[in-house]
Amino acid sequence: MINPRHFRLLVRVACIATGLLFLAAAWHKVRDPLAFAENIFNYQVLPDVLVNPTAIFLPWLEIVAALAIMAAPRLRRASAWLLLGLLIFFTGLVGVTMARGIDVACGCFTSDPDASPVGWGKIFENTLWMLLAGFALWGLHREDAARS
């Protein structure tokens, strides 16, 4: 059985890693929302009228949730749910895009249209991140239950 202190530390590391992932992903989107809007448009899943609002709103949602999972104890569980949900959604979007035969750059950490296209590697990478975020969520739930 793992020491409760070590377990709490592992949960915090998982929260911080998940938060840093989303901060890193949001950085280029906030710096260049027009390029990010082009990435979103290239996925061909949103009506044109929703592309620009999504390009502006989504990175700030990622930033707020990332900061909350790292630094706001009362919001950690909610932000873990949100970030895990985003990872699931993004992974599903990659899968649908691949199934539709659309050749598009991910837009995750760069808006460069010449970046490598989405593929199985991105699905595998996101699955690893989902496992980490899921562990963080499970650990936070377990900590809350232990306090009750």
Q: Residues near 61 by Cβ (< 8 Å), separated by ≥ 6?
A: 82, 86
The predicted-structure confidence for 46-91, as pLDDT tens digits, reads as follows 999 999 999 999 999 999 999 999 998 889 999 999 999 999 999 9
Q: How far apart are CA 81 and CA 61, in angstroms?
A: 13
The per-residue pLDDT for 42 is 92
The answer on pLDDT for 105 being more than 90 is no
The pTM assigned to this predicted structure is 0.89
Please state the φ and ψ torsions of residue 41, each to the nearest 5 degrees. -60, -40
